[in-house]
A and B are shown apart, each in its own frame.
Chain A
Amino acid sequence: MYNIFYIFGQIFHKSHEQIMTIIIFLIIIGIVVAGAFLAGFIWSVKSGQYDDMYSPSVRVLFDEKISEKKKTETGEAKDKDKDKDKEKTNKTTNKIIHKTNN
């Protein structure tokens, strides 16, 4: 066996098996990390985030709140651009919503 691990091992006086034991260590770290994600998933289900899986998809596409809108309006030119963007977003929103409903 003249593969790279053998050569490597020869340098550091380690056997094939001794080198591969690092895998066990890595696996355990992997379990811990995956376990953390599992815990996060369980927490999110318990806190009710999966109770409604449809409305958030619509909510994301809404514009800013009205009171904030009034604060940020400055000048007509900006408004015109904003309106154009809004039209575009709303058209896309409509298409998506029609698709989801049908």
Chain B
Amino acid sequence: MSDIGKVRLRLPSRIAAGDVVRARCLVIHPMERVERDRAGRMVDRKYRYIDRVTVTYLGRTVASFDTTQSVSENPVLAFTFTATGPGPLAVTFHDTHGATYEGRAEVRLG
């Protein structure tokens, strides 16, 4: 679990100006499932899972996700953005325990 919060953000190797680019992002996270006791009742505690993901490109939010415990452990998310210029792409994950994890990539045109 020491890798928790590690983010890998992947972009295509070549991006031209104006391309609609597909990016893929993986984050290491347990996305805790609801537990049940022997009687089948839900164990009431504050489960730790990612509930919000935002994608910014050149400082603008291009997409975001609200996520629930029905998303897998170590989630993979993919999205698109229009490459209008060189600059940073950032994906930020927030979990229910208040932790924030970020993956960044530099968009280079050519």
Decide whether A and B are members of one complex.
no
User: Which residues of B are in contact with A by a Cβ distance under 8 Å?
Assistant: none
